[in-house]
Chain A
Amino acid sequence: MLDKELRSMIGKVKDGRMDRRAFIKRMAAVGLTAPLANQILALGGVAMAEGAQTYKPTKRGGGGALKLLWWQGPTLLNPHFATGTKDQDGSRLFYEPLACWDPDGNMKLVLAAEIPSIQNGGLAADGKSVTWKLKPGVKWHDGKPFTADDVVFNWEYAKDPATSALTIATHRDITVEKVDDLTVRILFNKPTPFWADAFVGAPNTIIPKHLFADYKGSKSREAPTNLSPVGTGPYKFVEFKPGDLVRGQLNPDYHMPNRPYFDTVEMKGGGDAVSAARAVIQTGEYDFGWNIQVEDDVLLRLEKGGKGKTIYAVGGDTEFIALNFTDPNTEVDGERSSMKTKHPLFSDPAVRKALSMLVDRESVKKAIYGRAGRTTANFLNGPEKFVSKNTSWEFSVEKASKVLDDAGWKPGADGIREKDGKKLKLVYQTSINGPRQKTQAIIKQACQKAGIDVELKSVVASVFFSSDVANPDTYAHFYADLEMFQIPLSQPDPSQHMRRYMSTNVATKENKWQGTNFPRWVNKDYDAAILAAESEMDPVKRATYYIKANDLMFQDIVFIPVQHRLKVEAAANNLRPIISGWANETDNLHDWYREE
């Protein structure tokens, strides 16, 4: 669709000459989904529609117990210290953000009274501030009122380096000020198109000032409320055993009408994904199982005549193979994969091109991911409006062989191609994980047919994903030619995700491999697109920048996307959970109920 046309349509909706529904319909006609249309409207200055309400119960409570099974149980209950989603999920039972994301990527109100928009004065037109109005009458579980002071305190708490909050990145570059008791303003130091980071979603829930004020900074670990949260949420804290159990009970003073439905909630941890699927789907001992990373044929078998089913949520997670742009086998100044080297094989674009043709995404989907995967050519797979339509992929051993033949890579006596004395031998590493090892095997086979020798390496996940400076097997050291994993996209905005691959973020010995650009790919156009996108307030232009960034990665074959992965959960047949690909599983828990 033409930029101009879209813009005039947004204008029409703004002026009331076209209604929202008509706009969304027209967008759908050109292949864009409803949530995407909504986002375009919101960022184009039309107030965001609130997520559809599907909640049916007409009174608070009476739903009995809700039994959740998290195969990795929460180990702490302070959202600012949460390592990984399991801890965010656990603390989200009690703490709440100002707003959360529904399955379509729309914003839903929680502690805020209205969604900031340009119309209601919440969003500054220059993108440099956002004003949130808080819901009046909200009480902490101990009866104290929830006010703007609490929100401001969370910012002070998290941005203090001595607190060691893991949410520091969200808070350190903003300023939060109290306007009145029920209004806060967030100031950004540059135009910020994605203004809904701080205080939105499960990672950014709000803790009470009156219980944490004395435990700011270096005393942060000593707060007794770290282990027994007092929040504003639908459930009140009862009991916590790290890694094993979190228990809550209905909050009779909850600020949303008729909610929550369940009288008690229990989150049990431990075990593995397969048996969690079994306990929910097959035996029905539990109502909900989190993150069921199990091969699809196992799930299909469990679902036959079972008491539960699997449910899927579309987000933007991509399982990819990264190509190393530096040489992992040559040491320069005591550093392998040094920026001073070039990869001896991948510096020939033909090799990268051939490799991308040897990844049979359809087979990987069929054999492993099933309903939980979608084939893709893009690194950036969501939200929808940022997804490039300019790319495509194909699998063909013949074409790959031809590309290599044409580039002068001829099979040697052992069947492995070589050129100028260099053999096409690659080391392909990933973390230990059933589906990943199977994917490796599928790709290795195709490579063998094309005359590329691939050595498979698998590293235990706790090492592979660590930031251990001394360990050469981490993904950031990348002492291999290829590596496969996924980096979860935790927000319905790609800015944080795409920023990682700017040339300023290359992982090297100098920054102790803490840099996020592990393929060590350097592209000036990419850097420019990312920087431009970060302060671009025009939603259409901004999306174009990210699409361009994705396409640059596609052209250079920095990543070979294997699957666009969906979130998979197990739920009892009569449970009505609300799961969003853009939020944590418990982010919409206040809207869960059971169909009688």
Chain B
Amino acid sequence: MSQYVLRRLMIAIPSLLGISVVLFVVLALAPGDPFAELATNPNVPPEVQAALRAKFGLDDPIHLRYLHWLNAMLHGDWGFSFVSRMDVDTLILQRLPATLYVIGSAQILALLIAIPVGVYAATKPYSLFDQVANTLAFVGFSLPTFFTGILFILIFSVTLDWLPFVYTTDIKGTGIHWVLEMIRQAIMPVAVLGLFQAASMTRFVRSAMLDVIRLDYVTTARAKGLGQAKVIVKHVMRNAMIPVVTLIALQMPAVFGGAIVTEQIFRIPGIGSLLISSILSNDTPVVMAVTFVFACLVVLFNLIADVLYGWLDPRISLR
């Protein structure tokens, strides 16, 4: 087992290096430059733009810039944002809480809906409940979040005036009032994102359950006279959850990476909106850092999923 983990780790390091090279080259070759806005500003003479480019090393060849970046990164220096002249790690840490709170809550909401609905639908396939759940799930993942987001805003903010649609990190008040406000402003984004995720996850849970529910050992368990609830929870769900757990593990990076569209609609100052604004302003160090963190998380959670698999099914780690 430990040898298996070690082997997986050894593979992870070169993949990360590879990813960083690809990211860096793609960003270096991408059109646009971080001083775009200066070009139309009559106050900024071309020499200043040139000096800034030189100062920030934008005129060096790509391989030198990459080695420089890698070296700094290994020393824990993430570089600084061209746009805000702030250290990239500070910038990311500022954005992380909002992302974790909103996107994390949405994931939890998705699970809370998907697992019971999926399980119940699978125990009674083609029943009325199953069909309704299926239809809703299809509708749910067919509607993009930018559509449902605006729909929610129009209904709950504009027409009913119940909820705010601008998310703010700066809520006045303390104690219970603060908590309530935090919850109130997160309701819409969490619902929009959570329902979208829940829709696809419900389908997944249902089919995983259906795969297991027909197996012989389940019939045996029933034949032994076990109650329906016990059979479902103890025998079916436990096994059916193996692929579901993997799916959730692989979605974890998304929780950290934020949901770009939803963050944009509700003005949530999360990683997703940081990424999009950095891309638009060609703030390469930030884009590089955010995408690299994202890549690391994908690799890490892949690793965890692999290890989990090995632990759940020892045959995998032997191969």
A residues near B (Cβ < 8 Å) are 65, 69, 75-76, 78, 81, 83-84, 161, 164-170, 203, 221, 226-227, 239, 241-245, 247, 266, 268-272, 275, 278-279, 282-283, 285-286, 462-463, 465-468, 470-471, 473-476, 487-488, 490, 496-497, 499-500, 511-512, 514-516
CA of A336 to CA of B171, assembled, Å: 55
Interface centre among B32, B165, B168, B274 (most CB of A within 10 A): B32
Those of B80-116 within 8 Å (CB) of chain A: 80-81, 83-86, 91, 94-95
The answer to whether A245 touches B45 (Cβ under 8 A) is no
The answer to whether B157 touches A283 (Cβ under 8 A) is yes
A516, closest chain B residue (CB): B42
Residues from chain B with a CB closer than 8 A to the CB of A285 are 157, 164-166
CA of A164 to CA of B83, assembled, Å: 13
Across the interface, A81 reaches (CB within 8 A) one of B47, B50, B85, B157, namely B85
The answer to whether A166 touches B38 (Cβ under 8 A) is yes
Residues from chain A with a CB closer than 8 A to the CB of B39 are 465-467, 474-476, 514
Shortest distance from the beta carbon of B95 to any chain A beta carbon, whole Å: 8
Top 4 closest pairs, chain A to chain B, by CB: A514-B46, A244-B269, A466-B36, A467-B39
B residues near A (Cβ < 8 Å) are 31-33, 35-52, 55, 80-81, 83-86, 91, 94-95, 153, 157-158, 161, 164-166, 168-170, 172, 264-265, 267, 269, 273-274, 277, 280-282
Across the interface, A270 reaches (CB within 8 A) one of B94, B273, B281, namely B273
The answer to whether B91 touches A245 (Cβ under 8 A) is no
CA of A515 to CA of B47, assembled, Å: 11
The answer to whether A275 touches B83 (Cβ under 8 A) is no
Residues from chain A with a CB closer than 8 A to the CB of B31 are 463, 466, 468, 470-471, 473
Q: Using a Cβ cutoff of 8 Å, how many contacts connect chains A and B? A: 164
The answer to whether B46 touches A83 (Cβ under 8 A) is no
The answer to whether A467 touches B49 (Cβ under 8 A) is yes
CA of A111 to CA of B85, assembled, Å: 28
Knowing A239-B170, A471-B31, the reply to whether A466 touches B51 (Cβ < 8 A) is no
Knowing A270-B269, A275-B165, the reply to whether A243 touches B85 (Cβ < 8 A) is no
What are 19 sample pairs from A and B whose C-beta atoms fall under 8 A apart? A76-B86, A83-B35, A166-B48, A169-B44, A221-B85, A227-B86, A243-B274, A244-B269, A268-B166, A268-B168, A271-B166, A279-B166, A283-B158, A462-B32, A467-B33, A468-B36, A475-B39, A496-B42, A514-B39
Across the interface, B40 reaches (CB within 8 A) one of A69, A286, A465, namely A465
The answer to whether A496 touches B43 (Cβ under 8 A) is yes
The answer to whether A164 touches B52 (Cβ under 8 A) is yes
Shortest distance from the beta carbon of B143 to any chain A beta carbon, whole Å: 19
Residues from chain A with a CB closer than 8 A to the CB of B164 are 285
Residues from chain B with a CB closer than 8 A to the CB of A490 are 42-43
The answer to whether B166 touches A169 (Cβ under 8 A) is no
Residues from chain A with a CB closer than 8 A to the CB of B168 are 245, 266, 268
Shortest distance from the beta carbon of A69 to any chain B beta carbon, whole Å: 7
The answer to whether B84 touches A462 (Cβ under 8 A) is no
Across the interface, A83 reaches (CB within 8 A) one of B42, B83, B172, B269, namely B83
The answer to whether B43 touches A279 (Cβ under 8 A) is no
The answer to whether B35 touches A242 (Cβ under 8 A) is no
Knowing A164-B52, A270-B273, A487-B42, the reply to whether A242 touches B32 (Cβ < 8 A) is no
Residues from chain B with a CB closer than 8 A to the CB of A463 are 31-32, 36
Residues from chain B with a CB closer than 8 A to the CB of A275 are 153, 165, 265, 267
CA of A226 to CA of B50, assembled, Å: 22
The answer to whether B282 touches A166 (Cβ under 8 A) is no
Across the interface, B85 reaches (CB within 8 A) one of A76, A161, A487, A488, namely A76
Residues from chain A with a CB closer than 8 A to the CB of B95 are 241, 244
B280, closest chain A residue (CB): A462
Across the interface, B169 reaches (CB within 8 A) one of A84, A168, A245, A278, namely A245
CA of A446 to CA of B265, assembled, Å: 37
The answer to whether B91 touches A242 (Cβ under 8 A) is yes
The answer to whether B158 touches A166 (Cβ under 8 A) is no
Interface centre among A166, A167, A227, A279 (most CB of B within 10 A): A166
CA of A275 to CA of B146, assembled, Å: 13
The answer to whether B166 touches A245 (Cβ under 8 A) is no
Shortest distance from the beta carbon of B247 to any chain A beta carbon, whole Å: 31
Across the interface, A466 reaches (CB within 8 A) one of B32, B43, B274, namely B32
Shortest distance from the beta carbon of B265 to any chain A beta carbon, whole Å: 7
Across the interface, B84 reaches (CB within 8 A) one of A76, A272, A488, A512, namely A76
The answer to whether B264 touches A462 (Cβ under 8 A) is no
The answer to whether A203 touches B169 (Cβ under 8 A) is no
The answer to whether B42 touches A465 (Cβ under 8 A) is no
CA of A170 to CA of B44, assembled, Å: 9
The answer to whether B38 touches A243 (Cβ under 8 A) is no
The answer to whether B170 touches A467 (Cβ under 8 A) is no
Knowing A169-B48, A275-B165, the reply to whether A467 touches B43 (Cβ < 8 A) is no
The answer to whether A266 touches B170 (Cβ under 8 A) is yes
CA of A473 to CA of B269, assembled, Å: 31
Shortest distance from the beta carbon of A89 to any chain B beta carbon, whole Å: 14
The answer to whether A462 touches B48 (Cβ under 8 A) is no
CA of A474 to CA of B32, assembled, Å: 9
CA of A278 to CA of B158, assembled, Å: 8
Knowing A84-B37, A275-B165, A283-B157, the reply to whether A511 touches B46 (Cβ < 8 A) is yes
A306, closest chain B residue (CB): B158
The answer to whether B43 touches A169 (Cβ under 8 A) is yes
CA of A226 to CA of B86, assembled, Å: 9
Residues from chain B with a CB closer than 8 A to the CB of A473 are 31
CA of A473 to CA of B48, assembled, Å: 22
A486, closest chain B residue (CB): B40
Residues from chain A with a CB closer than 8 A to the CB of B273 are 243, 270
Shortest distance from the beta carbon of A469 to any chain B beta carbon, whole Å: 9
Residues from chain A with a CB closer than 8 A to the CB of B264 are 270-272
